[in-house]
Amino acid sequence: MKKIIFDLDDTLYINKELRKKREKAILEFLGKKSRKYKKLKREGYGTIEAFKKLGFERQEFFKIIKKVPIKLEKDWKLRLIIKKIKKRYELIVLSNSPRFCVKKTLKELGIIDLFDKYYCGEDFLYEKPHELCFFMIKKEDICVGNNFKKDLEVPKKLGAITILIGKEENGLADYEINKIYQIKKILEKIEWSTSIYL
């Protein structure tokens, strides 16, 4: 059975309020280093990468975001789509976030029972896009994320089919969609195109 590997934040859900609260907590923790952090983010560094550049361990980052309450509404539309997909694929979440946040987010969305596995920040010595984080990917598995460099570049090199979600259009992913709700149509397209060569 082929796998679909999903990123979590800004992929399976988008919540600007939660993102703002997390960013506020990070900036309060960083204090005087906030300006350097913002500069690193503008230069394209991920949150954890920027943290490390400023001399902090990612465990510090985990502690900060664990303190920010996660309050999300159950997404019944998403649940229905994921439930249909599950009949044909093994479903995995791969996130740089700590386990507590991943578990809580999936529970709040009402989809935790639909995923076969989830890998979190504590499962790896490094974070995405490090190649070791993508150990589970085989050729023709499907990877879904909102950031090509972080979520999809390595999987594409490994022969996975890549789906980019959101406004970051770069033409490098195999498919691009605006929202997760469009995933079923894209999967039908992928299944149809791959069946031609069978």
* Structure tokens given for 151: 């979520």
pLDDT in tens, 46-58: 888 899 999 999 8
Neighbours of 23 (CB within 10 A): 16
Q: Is the pLDDT of residue 195 over 70?
A: no
Full-model pTM? 0.93
- Calpha distance 40→154 (Å, rounded): 22
pLDDT at 39 over 80: yes
> What is the pLDDT, as a whole number, of residue 171?
80
* Cβ proximity of 135 and 1 under 8 Å: no
**pLDDT in the model for residue 56:** 93
Please work out, in degrees rounded to the nearest 5, the angle formed at the alpha carbon of residue 114 by the alpha carbons of 82 and 196: 45
Q: Is residue 129 reached through a cis peptide bond, with omega within 30 degrees of 0 on the bond before it? A: yes
For 140-181, write each residue's pLDDT tens digit: 999 999 999 999 999 999 999 999 998 766 789 999 999 999
Tens digits of per-residue pLDDT, 77-131? 999 999 999 999 999 999 999 999 999 999 999 999 999 999 999 999 999 999 9
List of domains in the chain: 3-13+73-195 (3.40.50.1000), 16-66 (no CATH)
Predicted confidence at residue 191, as pLDDT, reads: 85
Please state the separation of Cα 184 from the chain's center in Å: 18
